[in-house]
Amino acid sequence: MSEPLIEISALSKVFQRDSVEVRALDRVDMQVFPGDFVCLMGPSGSGKSTLLNIIAGVDRPSEGSVIVAGESLNEMSEDELAAWRNHHVGFVFQHFNLIPVLTAFENVELPLLLTSLSKKERREHVTTAMELVGLTDRMDHYPRQLSGGQEQRVAIARAIVTDPTCVLADEPTGDLDAHSAREVLEVLKGLNEQFKKTIMMVTHDPHAAAYASTRYQLEKGVFSKEGARQTV
Amino acid sequence: MKIPLRYNLRSLLVRWVGTLMTAIGIGLTVAIFIVMNALVNGLDSTFVQTGRENQLVIIRQGSLAETNSYFDRGLYETVRLLDGIAHDKSGQPLASGEITVIINHPRLTGESANVLIRGVSDMAFAVRPEVKITSGRKFRDGLRELVVSQSLANRFQNMQIGKTIHIGRSDWRVVGLMEAGGTAYDSEIWADYEDVAQEWDRPIYSSILVRANDAKAAESLTKRIKDDQRINLQALDQKTYFKDQMVSSIGIKALGLFIAVVMGIGSCFAAMNMMYSAVMGRMKEVGTLRALGFKRRSILSSFLVESVILALAGGILGCLMALPLHGLSTGTANFISFSEVLFHFRITPTILLKGLAFAAIVGVLGGILPARRAARIKLVEVLRD
Ligand SMILES: Nc1ncnc2c1ncn2[C@@H]1O[C@H](COP(=O)(O)OP(=O)(O)O)[C@@H](O)[C@H]1O
Ligand SMILES: [Mg+2]
């Protein structure tokens, strides 16, 4: 077996709310291999988003280590993390998080503005990403002119346009109807199967979970015994 | 600038009501700033334009201005015969003995202001070719006649041709109007020297304006007068003399600066208010940009630039609001009077640029705190809804 792409050891996250400590993650170990399509399940408040955020370098662990693509996130500064995210992570949000005043094209182009690509190269990359999500005819539309499913597909195009190491999606179908959800999941599945993208997805939805190759079940900050790492 | 400008421009347009209100507020401040500068500029240039090379204003030693200077008539005879003074075609020395008197007179609008009356001979016109009678005629000796500057005639009661003004103990008739090319003499009334001296029972001179042959002659004349113990006079370069009168505009400058600063602070708060609400409304967007890899510095400069764009829009509005006042200065209300000095209201490109710079500063000062707030968001918290 190859080297793990994501390696998490003894990861804990404690939130301090007033005087109460909330232990969102409690000594979690996890390995994700290149080309995996991992699904993270579990009830609300079990720590799924927290885990995903830490892997994305958006949040920091209280204890334990996170190594992604051979780099330890623990030691990085805020700005180093920002650059690292731009390079390695494509993040897909539950509520799409498109910038409303920018067109689909401009939204997808955003992460490329941090690279050294020329305007022409950026246009090529954006077009390729929009082709992958099947929205080349919606390039000049503003988010409010798109359906929820289309918005989420634009968001996926934005997540993959930099060709990141892994795509992290937090309940990407949570705001979508069944039909749009299936379209989005098909896009993710295509990315995983055709382009060998490593994907980690948080979801409540058993239908969504069926697309994954590996499933984890979180309960109150720990992987439940029987749920931990089921490979389909 | 990593985050594209169109992001800021469109964000401002989306909230156009707030943007417009804030821009108008800043615009009013900038307009007032421009008006202040135009006033000071007009006043300054009136004095800067007054005077000719190699001419000397001779007044009493220790006096600051003609209006508080007086000396014996005999001194005029001494001075006009000094070496180095130029002569006219008929061989007369170009030296004009004059008396100045201040009167208080009502404006057309009712309130009174101080006006300077200068008692002169023909020589006064010879040493000031810029002064021209534009309508009517020159005053005649012994008849209590006046020539009034066009600008005073536009602003003051009974100063039009044919009207009569009661000054001193007599009635004086306006027989002509003059213009003086935007110099300080454009705010004066001229009459015959003997008439003025008699009216106020003052057989004295206030000043002598002389033309020297050249710069060297002017210099030696100045020294000669200074060194002569018998004549208690001082000779001042005419241009410098009027430039020094500009100190009177320092008060206006200080007042203008004070008003600009106070209003500027108000505008900073307006911009800050607008930018804070922009930042609060766009927390999620900021979080998204940060998650995509934009650094805090980029967020900071993006919001700062947005604030400056907002303020500059206000600055442009301010320029547009102030410009019609410049048009007025060539129209009917040709002058703005400030105490006894009337001057043109001048908006120059430099002043407009200053106004825009002023707006940009307002934008930076008003935007800095909101922009810092945006740059320092807690990423996880804004992304969690
Ligand atoms: N910023 C925070 N401050 C305090 N508590 C938090 C914060 N983020 C998450 N939590 C708590 O941590 C736990 C896990 O949250 P989360 O990872 O969002 O769960 P999930 O995504 O599985 O619903 C919850 O109890 C939540 O209330
Ligand atoms: Mg969650």
Helix (H/G/I), strand (E/B), else coil: A177: coil
Structure tokens that stand for B224 in this block = 């000669």
In a domain, B41, yes or no: yes
Does the CB of A102 have a partner CB in chain B at under 8 Å?
yes
B270 and B150 assigned to the same domain: no
Which of chain A's residues have a Cβ under 8 Å away from the Cβ of B296? 78-79, 82
Q: Which of A58, A79, A87 sits opposite B383 (nearest CB)?
A: A58
Residue A116 falls inside a structural domain: yes
Domain assignment of residue A107, yes or no: yes
Q: Nearest-CA neighbor of A25 among A56, A2, A57, A52? A: A52
Atom of ligand 1 nearest to the CA of A13: 12
Residue B338 pairs in a beta bridge with B341
Over its length of 385 residues, how does chain B's per-residue pLDDT go in tens digits? 589 999 999 999 999 999 999 999 999 999 999 988 887 777 777 777 788 889 999 999 988 888 888 999 999 999 999 999 999 999 999 999 999 988 889 988 888 888 889 999 999 999 999 999 999 999 999 999 999 999 889 889 999 999 999 988 899 999 999 999 878 888 899 999 999 999 999 899 999 999 999 999 999 999 999 998 888 899 999 988 887 776 656 777 788 788 888 999 999 999 999 999 999 999 999 999 999 999 999 999 999 999 999 999 999 999 999 988 875 543 233 333 333 566 667 789 999 999 999 999 999 999 999 999 999 999 998 988 6
Closest ligand (CA of A53): 1
- Is the domain of B80 the same as that of B190? yes
Where is the domain boundary, B156, B188, B211?
B211
Q: Tokens standing for B216?
A: 């060297």
Number of domains forming the structure of chain A: 1
pLDDT digits (tens, 9 = 90+) for A117-171: 999 999 999 999 999 999 999 999 999 999 999 999 999 999 999 999 999 999 9
What is the spatial distance between Cα B324 and Cα B340, in angstroms, rounded to a whole number?
25
Ligand 1 neighbour A217 (Cβ under 6 A): no
Number of folded domains in chain B?
2
- Residue B81: phi and psi, rounded to 5, are -95, 5
B30 and B125 together in one domain: no
What is the rounded distance in angstroms from the CA atom of residue A87 to the CA atom of residue A117? 13
pLDDT in tens, A163-192: 999 999 999 999 999 999 999 999 999 999
Is residue A20 a part of any domain in this protein? no
Q: Is A22 in the pocket of ligand 1 (CB under 6 A)?
A: yes
| B26 assigned to some structural domain | yes
Nearest-CA residue for ligand 1 atom 5 is: A15
Q: Is there an atom of ligand 1 within 6 Å of A45 CB?
A: yes
pLDDT at A83: 93
Best interface-test mutation with B: which of A81, A97, A103 has the largest number of B CBs within 10 A?
Answer: A97
Write out residues 53-92 of A within 8 Å (CB-CB) of B: 53, 56, 58-59, 78-79, 82-87, 91
Contacts of B20 (CB under 8 A, 6+ apart): none
∠ Cα B1 B4 B10 (to 5°): 135
Taking CA atoms only, the protein residue closest to ligand 1 atom 17 is: A47
Which of the listed residues A21, A39, A50 should we mutate to test ligand 1's pocket, taking the one with most ligand atoms within 8 A of CB?
A: A50
For ligand 1, whether the C-beta of A99 sits within 6 Å is no
In a shared domain, residues B28 and B70: no
A68 pLDDT above the threshold of 70: yes
Say yes or no: B350 and B368 in one domain.
yes
Residue A226 has pLDDT above 60, yes or no: no
Residue A205 has pLDDT above 70, yes or no: yes
User: What does the DSSP 8-state code read for residue B67?
Assistant: G
Question: What is the residue range of B350's domain?
Answer: 5-48+248-384
- Mean pLDDT to the nearest integer, A188-215: 92
Contact B292 A102 (CB under 8 A): no
Is B69 found in the same domain as B199?
A: yes
Report the pLDDT value the prediction gives residue B337, as an integer from 0 to 100: 32
Read off the pLDDT of residues B293-332 as tens digits, 9 standing for 90 and up.
999 999 999 999 999 999 999 999 999 999 888 755 432 3
From the list B10, B292, B380, the residue facing A59 with the nearest CB is B380
Distance CA(B243)–CA(B249), nearest Å, equals: 11
Of B6, B293, B296, the CB nearest to A111: B293
CATH code of the domain in which A135 resides? 3.40.50.300
Both B44 and B116 in one domain: the answer is no
Q: Shortest CB distance from A97 goes to which of B3, B284, B295?
A: B284
**Rounded mean pLDDT, A75-102:** 95
Query: pLDDT, tens digit, for every residue of B190-219?
Result: 999 999 999 999 899 999 999 999 999 999
Model pLDDT, residue A1: 58
Check whether residue B159 and residue B259 sit in a common domain.
no
Q: Tell whether B297 and B330 lie within a shared domain.
A: yes
| Cβ-based burial of B156 (10 A; exposed 0-12, middle 13-18, buried ≥19) | buried
Asked if residue A7 is part of any domain, the answer here is no
Give dist(CA B73, CA B203) in Å, integer: 7
Among protein residues, the one whose CA lies closest to atom 12 of ligand 1? A24
Q: Based on the domain organization, do B150 and B207 belong to the same domain?
A: yes
**Cβ–Cβ below 8 Å for A82 and B4:** no
pLDDT of residue B345: 76
